[in-house]
Amino acid sequence: MFHIEVISSDDASFECPPEKSLLHGMESQSVKAINVGCRGGGCGFCKIRILEGEFEAKKMSIKFVTKEAQAAGFALSCRVFPRSNMRVMAVGND
């Protein structure tokens, strides 16, 4: 279990096991800090910026997070699996 801190209009935190995506982990604890969309990396609704922490990511739609944005720490939280405690910022699908 890793501790995930979310900076958003409503700061929140939740615990997430390594086999669950951040979004899935958040939803299973009924926390509402990141927007929930398709849960499949396609819609950009759950976009975050990763501030701290280790993770692994599955492929996400470059329409919403370009390769450059990924390099700058942006990600779709439904495709990010924690490998340490993390601190992230919810940025939404602007």
Partner 1 sequence: MQKGVIGTAHVQIRVLDIDEAVTHYRDRLGLLETDRDSQGRVYLKGWTEADKFSVVLREADEAGMDFMGFKVLNNEVLASLRQDLIDFGCNVEDIPAGELNGCGPRVRFDSPTGHMFEIFAEKEVVGRATGHRNPDAWPMDLKGMKATRFDHCLLYGDDLDGTLKLFTEVLGFWLTEQAMDGDVRIAQFLTTSMKEHEIAFIRAEGKGMFHHASFLLESWDDVLKAADLISMWDISIDIGPTRHGLTHGQTIYFFDPSGNRNETFAGGDWYVPGMPTTTWDAEKLGKAVFYHARELNERFLNVTT
Q: Which residues bind partner 1 (CB under 8 A)?
A: 36-43, 45, 58-64, 78, 93
Q: Which residues are paired to 7 by β-bridges? A: 89
| Identity of the residue, 62 or 72, whose beta carbon is nearer to partner 1 in the bound complex | 62
The residues of the shown chain that bind ligand FES, judged by CB under 6 A, are 23, 36-39, 41-46, 76, 78
State how far the Cα of 83 lies from the Cα of 7, in Å rounded to an integer.
19
Question: Residue with structure tokens 């942006």?
Answer: 74
Smallest distance, Å, CB 44 to partner 1? 9
Q: Where is 28: in which H helix or E strand?
A: helix 22-28
| Identity of the residue, 59 or 71, whose beta carbon is nearer to partner 1 in the bound complex | 59
